[in-house]
Amino acid sequence: QVQLVESGGGVVQPGRSLRLSCAASGFTSSSYGIHWVRQAPGKGLEWVAVIWYDGTNKYYADSVKGRFTVSRDNSKNTLYLQMNSLRAEDTAVYYCARGVLSFGNAFDIWGQGTMVTVSS
């Protein structure tokens, strides 16, 4: 079964760090770019970051640039989102999603999401 499963969310104080994981199964994740998308409570979708299939390129939304870092371990079929200097406005459900080049990078597989709450 092709799927992505996020983990690592939780409650964290402002200024602290958290690392999210995205485990891929049922497909070779090293063949796909993986994106992170977040959704604040009651709000719309915000694209956060992408790491290319081979890890050579990484891009970030301005709102997280310099604070968040994406990485991947293709040997484990796992992707990571390291989040530093967290702010209240980073509170959201974080999804990882598979981008398909032949679909114009549309996201065909999404995880169920993991909730991150930044609060003192």
Chain positions contacting other proteins, by CB under 8 A: 35, 37, 44-47, 50, 57, 59-62, 95, 97, 99-100, 103-108, 110-113
Nearer to other proteins, 16 or 98 (CB): 98
**Cβ-based nearer residue to other proteins, 13 or 63:** 63
Q: How far is the CB of 34 from other proteins (least distance, A)?
A: 12
Give whichever of 15 and 71 is closer to other proteins, judged by the CB atom.
Answer: 71
Which residue(s) pair with 30 in the sheet? none
> What are phi and psi for residue 92, nearest 5 degrees?
-175, 165
Q: CA 9, 84, 63 angle in degrees (round to 5)? A: 95
Spatial neighbors of 28 by CB under 8 A, at least 6 apart, are: 77
